[in-house]
Homo-oligomer: A and B are copies of this chain.
Amino acid sequence: MTGARPGRPARLVVIGGGFAGLWAVRALRAAPVEILLIDRHNHHVFQPLLYQVATAGLAAPSIAAPLRHILRRQRNVTVQLAEVERIDPVARQVFAGSQVIDFDFLLLATGVSHAYFGHDDWAGQAPGLKTLSDALKIRARILTAFEHAESCADAGEAQQHLTFVIVGAGPTGVELAGTLAEISRHTLKNEFRRIDPAHARVILVEAGPRVLPAFTPELSASAQRQLERLGVTVRTGLPITHVDASGVRIGAEFVPARTVLWAAGVSASPLASTLGVPQDRSGRVIVGTDLSIPGHPEIFVAGDLAAVSSSSGPVPGIAPAAKQMGRHVARVISARIATKPPPPFRYRNFGLLATIGRMAAVVDLGPLHFSGLLAWWFWLLAHVYFLIGFRNRLVVLIDWAGAYWTYQRSARIVTEEGK
């Protein structure tokens, strides 16, 4: 048996309160373990709707809930706000500031961020979208861009402020591009006196051959058509070769643009490398079918940070997969404590959804594919359903209903912090 010592319950340290970490913790509510959940934020974020905060559709608190509050009734959990710097897998210790925390079991679930492909200096110019802070920063940039354009005496400069480049056409890039097009064409209508926001250019750049590469080629083509109908310019097969304050180079062509948003690449949480085990090209930790790392059956990695394959290929970095992995780690820990053989992880693919904009989305349910209005309703219902457990779902629904009828967005607020 691994982990537990006689006379007291085994101690599990979970790093990261995202879908993987939180679902593991909740699945262990009746298990004989003492859990310490460490996160550097005080809240869990419903990441699939982060782009809505970034595009002023929802207030930040509508998609986040304090981890302490979610877990207040689960007496075997202590929540701690801290930043872990290092893990010592051999000594079974976690280091956070001046604290040294012992563990019997460890779950590392700190996720991934975007990768700038060796150009980390682009990060300041082209923010990515992974946390609520990122979302508020992007929201401020987008709203301020229109304000700058309105204040410009020079028409050429105004057009640069009205040019938005989104790098990477995965679900996040597609959502940002589609929503930005909607904002410029509908939300801001009649609000400016010198510029016409509808003249904004929204350019979605993808180095690969098609948008939404995880979907079927037919759905990618449909997504591109839906994006173009919303007013987005889609450029595929071209890498970004330069980013600065005045614009981006797409392949060989320089495009003047004051707002660049980054939604490309995958870069693992730096904590992963302190485990000292093999990582894939993006830094994700390669785990076994029990989601533990080689040589350490008591240390698990789950969620976006875990590189794991199922019968249908690599498990995607999406919320349903993270929840499944989190629950699986809970099952393995329970099995280990009961000295039973752990079951192997099997990813159940419930499908892929991506929303594009108003009444535009694509849905891939394996045998069943569809897109457009029907896909958009499906996406909407699925997300409202999964928001259940968040007390703010009613608020989200009202905001969305309001936005649907009026094209308005309820969170168009720039605070100093967000600038």
The closest CB in chain B to the CB of A139 belongs to: B61
CB contact under 8 A between A411 and B61, given known A80-B151, A417-B417: yes
CA distance A69 to B41 in the complex (A): 33
- Judged by a CB distance under 8 angstroms, whether A374 is at the interface is no
Which of the residues B73, B147, B190, B402 comes within 8 Å of A190, measured between beta carbons? B73
The closest CB in chain B to the CB of A135 belongs to: B415
CB contact under 8 A between A413 and B191, given known A82-B151, A150-B80, A398-B394: no
Contacts of A150 in B (CB 8 A): 80-81
CA distance A415 to B82 in the complex (A): 14
Asked whether A132 lies within 8 Å of B415 as measured between CB atoms, the reply is: yes
- Judged by a CB distance under 8 angstroms, whether A60 is at the interface is yes
The closest CB in chain B to the CB of A412 belongs to: B66
Number of interface residues of A (CB under 8 A): 54
Instruction: Say how many copies of this protein the assembly contains.
Output: 2
Asked whether B414 lies within 8 Å of A43 as measured between CB atoms, the reply is: yes
Contacts of A191 in B (CB 8 A): 66, 68-69, 72, 79
Asked whether A147 lies within 8 Å of B42 as measured between CB atoms, the reply is: yes
- Judged by a CB distance under 8 angstroms, whether A193 is at the interface is yes
A37-69 CB contacts (< 8 Å) to partner B: 41-43, 56, 59-62, 64-66, 68-69
Instruction: Enumerate the 3 nearest inter-chain pairs by beta-carbon distance, A residue then B residue, closest first.
Output: A417-B417, A59-B59, A61-B411
Interface residues of A (CB under 8 A from B): 41-43, 56, 59-62, 64-66, 68-69, 72-73, 78-82, 131-133, 136-137, 143-144, 147, 150-151, 188, 190-194, 391-392, 394-395, 398-399, 402, 406, 408, 410-418
List 26 interface pairs A-B (beta carbons < 8 Å), by A numbering.
A41-B415, A42-B143, A42-B144, A42-B413, A43-B413, A59-B60, A60-B413, A61-B412, A64-B413, A66-B143, A66-B413, A68-B192, A69-B412, A72-B191, A79-B191, A79-B193, A80-B150, A80-B151, A81-B144, A81-B151, A133-B417, A391-B406, A392-B410, A395-B399, A415-B417, A417-B418
